Amino acid sequence: MAATAVRETAGDIIRPDTDRIKELLRSGSLDSCGQVLDDVLKQTGFFGIQSFMVRLYICMDIFVAAKDFASEIGVTDEQFTRRFGTVRDIEKKMIGAGKMAEYLYETISQCIIWRAESVRDSVSDSVEKAKAYIDRNYMNYDISLRSVADEVGLSPAYLSGLFKKEVGQNLSDYLTDVRINKAKSLLCCTSKMVYEVAYEVGFHDYKYFSQIFKKHTGQTPRQFQSSANVC
């Protein structure tokens, strides 16, 4: 629903700069929320307009821009309505330009918070998908940052930084940890030969596997197998 704001003093048709509001919402900047909204409202002559209906029209444009943005980032109509009411409720909630401005600020700032939560959830989801993919495919010797990134739909460079930030270690180190832990379980609880274990956890070079295993455990695979309790 779009509305047209009319400046009473000049008769000009004025609409709030909703593109700037959308830029603010996309930027995710709470710090600049008040200033940007104030600038947009002042450009329409909002605080000098006497007619409630004209001020309401201006609010409608900004309200709808915020609602559309919320929908784009996954906020349901039910969530939005529960928090801010419907377009028809606005007239009942806002008396005076100051109250209207406060309502718009609350609406926009909440949308920015929802955006931050959406991004955070998306980040966590991507990292969890990457970890799950590694847990399922650690035995494939050719699994790599690129193959994991392709699986979760991110660039290798972006996933690498994201994974490090969220998990606290590089993706390659996480993969190695998974492989070594699986190897320890096999060495402890099966009668498999060391070279068989190496192959099953994704190492096609027995000597390299032994080096990595000792680096992580302080023992060679054979030493670990000999000292481990039989399950």
When divided into structural domains, the chain yields a total of 2
Whether residue 88 lies inside any domain: the answer is yes
Residue 200: which H helix or E strand, with range?
A: helix 194-200
Q: Whole-model pTM?
A: 0.57
Whether residue 133 lies inside any domain: the answer is no
> Which CATH number belongs to the domain containing residue 208 in this structure?
1.10.10.60
Please give the share of the chain, as a percent, with pLDDT higher than 90: 51
| Alpha carbons 25 and 108: distance in angstroms, whole number | 7
Q: pLDDT tens for residues 133-185?
A: 999 999 999 999 999 999 988 889 889 998 999 899 999 999 999 999 999 99
Q: Which one of 66, 89, 118 terminates a domain?
A: 118
144 and 220 both lie in a single domain: yes
Cβ-count burial 70-85 (b if 16+ within 10 Å, e if not): beebebeeeebeeebe
Residue range(s) defining the domain that contains residue 69? 5-118
